[in-house]
Amino acid sequence: MKAIILIVLTFVSFQISFSQKNQIPAKPKLVVGIVIDQMRYDFLYRYYDNYSEKGFKRLLKEGFNCRNNHYHYATTYTGPGHAAIYTGSIPAINGIVGNEWYELSGKLMYVAEDSTVQGVGTSSSAGKMSPRNMLTTTITDQLRLATQFRSKVIGIAIKDRGAILPAGHTANAAYWYDSQTGNWISSSYYMQELPEWVQKFNQSGRAKQFLQTWQTLQPVANYKNSEADNQLYERPLEGEKTAVFPHQINSFALLAYSPWGNTLTKEFALEAIRNEQLGKGSDTDFLCISFSSTDIAGHSFGPFSVENQDMYVRLDQEIADILNFLDKEFGKENYLLFLTADHGVADVAGFSQKNKIPAGSASGATHLQVLQEALEKKFGQGKWILYTENQQLYLNHTLLEQKKVSVKEIYEVVRKTLLRQPEVYSVVNLWDNEIDATLPDYYASMVKNIYHPKRCGEIMILLKPAWYYGFGKGGTTHGTFYNYDTHVPLLWFGWKVPSGETSQRTHIADIAPTLAMMLNILEPNGCVGTPIEAILRVLKVY
């Protein structure tokens, strides 16, 4: 009998010990946010057969997939996207209404521009950047506040805005790429000099090693979901006559157009984890990574190009490397990772036209000329439209006051004139808030969500689906409220995250409050998103 009791006690002791050893911690040691610039949702599946088992497929199979995830505003650009992900907000509140906009003073403002700081690691203006133009906190700010700034937060991206906006106002550091030198740089907003490990990375000449010929990773015959390589509506890289493989990556600027821009980003991010001891303290740390090269090249080649497929097949390896590193460094149960994108992208207009799909590239200069002529005919001489940006018209209020002309009167002429243009869908009066009367409810709310009275124009021009401004000589872009620009991936992986998926509609603004629930911290101060119940329920957060 005593022997039986001893066996039972030994077994119970073993079970308790095993349970304690394998218990998932109450909070992750490290949160890793991955933003893939210009990754449209369908890329997860269109290239699926070419992916390895350890990258995107692993996230899909072992993680939680929000399949119906969309942007909730009209100007789907890089700056607003990164800001919305981390603020849980909208341009109308966080102030990031575009990559550039005009201030009330008439000054053109770049999203991360800050003349009060100096570059660190560079003497060029590329270093004069900070998050000061963002008007709300981020989830990364809230984490720092919740831990009395013990949590470390670092942002990394080729693009400055892709590193700076996610890391927030209180970040320990943000690093971005100097295309003149191939170095990682920062600004005096964060530090007075680069840490020794960053200097060593730059001195290693790693970027220079990537100046090589870009060939496809797999045989072109394997890329069955791309069209033939030689297409006149793709835009060649600088120095090339045609947009076909092989591509000569022979400058630091061109490196950003190649898959090695992503490789360099990954390597630098992993060095940051090692050298900054992220995830090694008593509080949760946060690393924000944005892969920019997918967008930089995507504008030139488009979604159905061989280059785009090869870019994502190679990026799949970078994702696999990150997951493998995190597994070894922390264990899957100790880190939380999410992956999403800052916007999607339109198919190249030439590709759509070839396949009998209505599409085209509009000329902003032509629209402006037609409008100026119509306004002068109606109201007299003068520069009625001062600036155009983000599909918006910034009017000359001094002239309006002199001539005693209202914005509504200008709008009526603009609307009547532009609706004669075949590529224009609608024209919206932002100034007088006549959005609901102009658009269906679905689109009206998305336009309302971008209007910031101190940073937006008075009138907005909306093109038809598959139409966009510029890129008349090849390539494509984004920036609309249509699904190809709004539908992006949202994958969760790691700490407490089970395998599963939901087709319930989620929005980009929902990411930050979901993270806040997971980490038991306050959501950002301009947050408008809703925690994603589908994942929180299975995590037993509710």
Domain harbouring 116, CATH code: 3.40.720.10
Say if residue 460 is in the same domain as residue 495.
no
430, 465, 500 - which closes a domain: 465
Beta pairing class for 108-110 and 153-157: unpaired
- Helix axis angle for 160-167 and 78-87, nearest 10°, is 20
Residue 60 has pLDDT above 60, yes or no: yes
Residue 11 has pLDDT above 70, yes or no: no
Say if residue 430 is in the same domain as residue 508.
no
For residue 459, give Cα distances in angstroms to 451, 480, 532, 540. Answer: 10, 15, 34, 46
Lowest mean pLDDT: which of 14-28, 288-302, 357-371, 518-532?
A: 14-28
Q: Please say whether the beta carbons of 431 and 460 come within 8 A.
A: no
Secondary structure of 25-58 in the HEC alphabet? CCCCCEEEEEEECCCCCCHHHHCHHHCCCCCHHH
Q: How far is CA 347 from the centre of its chain?
A: 18
Non-local CB neighbours of 440 within 8 Å, separated by 6+ positions? none
Determine, yes or no, domain membership for 270.
yes
Position 471 confidence tier, pLDDT thresholds 50, 70, 90: confident
Element (H, E) at 198: helix 196-203
Element (H, E) at 444: helix 441-448
Say if residue 95 is in the same domain as residue 232.
yes
Say if residue 101 is in the same domain as residue 157.
yes
Residue 16 has pLDDT above 90, yes or no: no
Non-local CB neighbours of 113 within 8 Å, separated by 6+ positions? 128, 129, 133
Query: Which of 235, 394, 288, 402 has its CA nearest to residue 35?
Result: 288
Say if residue 393 is in the same domain as residue 527.
no
Non-local CB neighbours of 277 within 8 Å, separated by 6+ positions? none
Q: Average the pLDDT over 523-542 and give the result.
A: 88
Determine, yes or no, domain membership for 44.
yes
Strand partners, 290: 35, 157
Give pLDDT, residue 12. 39
Say if residue 496 is in the same domain as residue 374.
no
Active-site amino acid positions:
78
Say if residue 342 is in the same domain as residue 364.
no
Beta pairing class for 153-157 and 173-178: parallel
Q: Average the pLDDT over 432-444 and give the result.
A: 94
Q: Please say whether the beta carbons of 539 and 497 come within 8 A.
A: yes
Non-local CB neighbours of 115 within 8 Å, separated by 6+ positions? 128
- Express the helix, strand and coil content of the chain in percent, nearest 5 each: 40, 20, 45
Say if residue 84 is in the same domain as residue 221.
yes
CATH assignment at residue 373:
3.30.1360.150
Query: What letter does residue 129 receive in the DSSP assignment?
Result: B
Q: d(Cα 330, Cα 273) in Å, to the nearest integer?
A: 11
417, 433, 465 - which closes a domain: 465
Strand partners, 395: 385
Phi/psi at 350 (5° precision): -60, -35
Say if residue 183 is in the same domain as residue 283.
yes
Give pLDDT, residue 305. 98
Residue 19 has pLDDT above 50, yes or no: no
How many CB atoms lie under 10 A from the CB of residue 142?
26
pLDDT, tens only, 238-272: 999 999 999 999 999 999 999 999 999 999 999 99
438, 465, 492 - which closes a domain: 465
The number of domains in the chain is 2
Position 475 confidence tier, pLDDT thresholds 50, 70, 90: very high
Query: Which of 230, 234, 243 has its CA nearest to residue 473?
Result: 234
How many CB atoms lie under 10 A from the CB of residue 153?
26
Give pLDDT, residue 13. 42
Q: Average the pLDDT over 382-402 and give the result.
A: 97
Determine, yes or no, domain membership for 102.
yes
Say if residue 404 is in the same domain as residue 457.
yes
Say if residue 296 is in the same domain as residue 373.
no
Say if residue 366 is in the same domain as residue 233.
no
For residue 433, give Cα distances in angstroms to 31, 400, 452. Answer: 40, 19, 12
pLDDT, tens only, 176-233: 999 999 999 999 999 999 999 999 999 999 999 999 999 999 999 999 999 999 999 9
Q: 63: domain range?
A: 30-348+483-538
Residue 511 has pLDDT above 50, yes or no: yes
- Helix axis angle for 259-275 and 293-301, nearest 10°, is 170
Give pLDDT, residue 14. 39
Position 542 confidence tier, pLDDT thresholds 50, 70, 90: low
